Amino acid sequence: MPANAGASVDPASGRPLLVFSHANGFPAPVYRKLFALLEDDFRVRAIPRYGHDPRYPVTDGWPALARQLVDFLEGDCAGEPAVLVGHSLGGYLSLMAAKSRPDLVRRVILLDSPLVAGWRAHFLWLTKRTGIDQRFPPASPTRRRRTHWPDLAAFEAHFASKQLFRQWDPEMLRDYGTFGTTDDPKGRTLAFEREIEYRIYRTLPHRIGRLSRRPFPVPVTFIGGRESHEIRMTGLGATRRITAGRVIWTAGSHLFPFEHPHETARLIRQACD
């Protein structure tokens, strides 16, 4: 499927290469429906799971995770310049990779990945340094997250009952069960390890806003959910600077790619025009 690392690159097809980076806790195959909606216009590739390869450990500011994306572009994608699309965590990694290796990148499209800067960045640094961040979302609920279910039906019923997931496209919710869990002696367990998800949240890059201080080496577009709590928390000053005003709004929460995959695919195509 398109999310597999190592998939062949075929520039002769005429479709540009699109490399997608997933949000924290959601392996790339969970976005299967979105990838399928993009395949007519792009050759979609993705790293299946960030944070799980011991060669690229989760450390403060995520430098190794960004290096994993650069290595994927150089190796698996043979250095072909790509459109980088990232959701949340994936957007930040896409920016970091583009900053270090703009020769490998055509443009960056951020899906609800607002840059934290100014006093908010200092506050983020302070919460990490003091450990206060462990007591509040997103880190605190991650530590208590359930990891096992007797079967896929129980998994889907569990998440369908939660407010955060009620607006999901039904097919994408099914794919979260199919590709977001693996077989386990007790039934099904999360494919994205809870401890790794927790560590990623606790090492958020508080210096990411500095990327907006100078013109960015490739075009950047931000697509945000109108009901996104994350945008309200971070503000949009640095995001507007790095995108030079290329900001697009759409219906939905921080998880809008799962809620509205058709519209998300349309807006990604629009951002590339």
Rounded CA separation 109/222 (Å): 6
Question: b or e along 171-184 (b: 16 or more beta carbons within 10 Å of the residue's beta carbon)?
Answer: ebbbbbbbbbbeee
Q: What is the pLDDT of residues 200-230, one digit of tens each?
A: 999 999 999 999 999 999 999 999 999 999 9
The per-residue pLDDT for range 223-235, each reduced to its tens digit, is: 999 999 999 989 8
pTM of structure = 0.93
Cα(205)–Cα(98) distance, integer angstroms: 16
Residues in Cβ contact with 8 at an 8 Å cutoff, skipping those fewer than 6 apart: none
On whether the CB atoms of residues 122 and 185 are closer than 8 A, the answer is: no
| Distance between CA atoms of residues 60 and 177, nearest Å | 30
> Can you give the pLDDT of all 273 residues of the chain as single tens digits?
444 433 444 555 689 999 999 999 999 999 999 999 999 999 999 999 999 999 999 999 999 999 999 999 999 999 999 999 999 999 999 999 999 999 999 999 999 999 998 878 776 767 777 777 676 667 667 788 899 999 999 999 999 889 889 999 999 999 999 999 999 998 999 999 999 999 999 999 999 999 999 999 999 999 999 999 999 989 899 999 999 999 999 999 999 999 999 999 999 999 998
Please state, for a pLDDT cut of 70, what percent of the chain lies above it. 92
* Strand ranges inside the chain, DSSP E: 17-21, 43-46, 82-87, 105-111, 148-149, 181-184, 187-190, 220-225, 247-250
**Residue at token pair 């960004």:** 66
Domains of the chain with CATH codes: 11-271 (3.40.50.1820)
pLDDT of 127: 75
CA dist 154 → 157, 184, 188, 258 (Å):
5, 14, 9, 20
On average, the pLDDT of the chain sits at 92
Looking at residue 11, what is its pLDDT?
56
Q: 43-46 and 148-149 as β-strands: parallel, antiparallel, unpaired?
A: unpaired
